[in-house]
Amino acid sequence: MVGPSWVIFTVMGAGEFAFHGRRVDAAGGAMLGMSILLGGRGIGAMVGPLIAARWAGQSDRRLGLGILFGYITVALGYVLLGVSRTVWTAAGCASSAS
């Protein structure tokens, strides 16, 4: 799951979600779009395990359910990323896809 996300987030961040604004040239906007998506992924990679570990505790059953829920969340994150229209929505999807 991690390998493809590096490619998907950088390509989509530079193309589809490039940031356009005052004093931002094309290269800077592409870099900013990639940075926002990868930052969203980083937040998800940090917060997700903290929540899951607290919830699962020492229970093997909860750990198994957490892993299943994690895979489902990643799949939904990628699906929603494909239909996102703003860089901020895409970053939220990227955080769930990490």
pLDDT tens digits, one per residue of 31-80: 999 999 999 999 998 998 899 889 999 999 999 999 999 899 989 998 99
What pTM value is reported for the model?
Answer: 0.83
Q: Indicate whether 1 pLDDT > 80.
A: no
Between CA 96 and CA 62, with CA 80 as vertex, the angle to 5 degrees is 35
Query: Look-up: residue for tokens 């193309």?
Result: 15
Q: Indicate whether 91 pLDDT > 80.
A: yes
Cα gap 38→22, rounded to integer Å: 22
Query: Which band of pLDDT confidence, cut at 50, 70 and 90, is reported for residue 4?
Result: confident
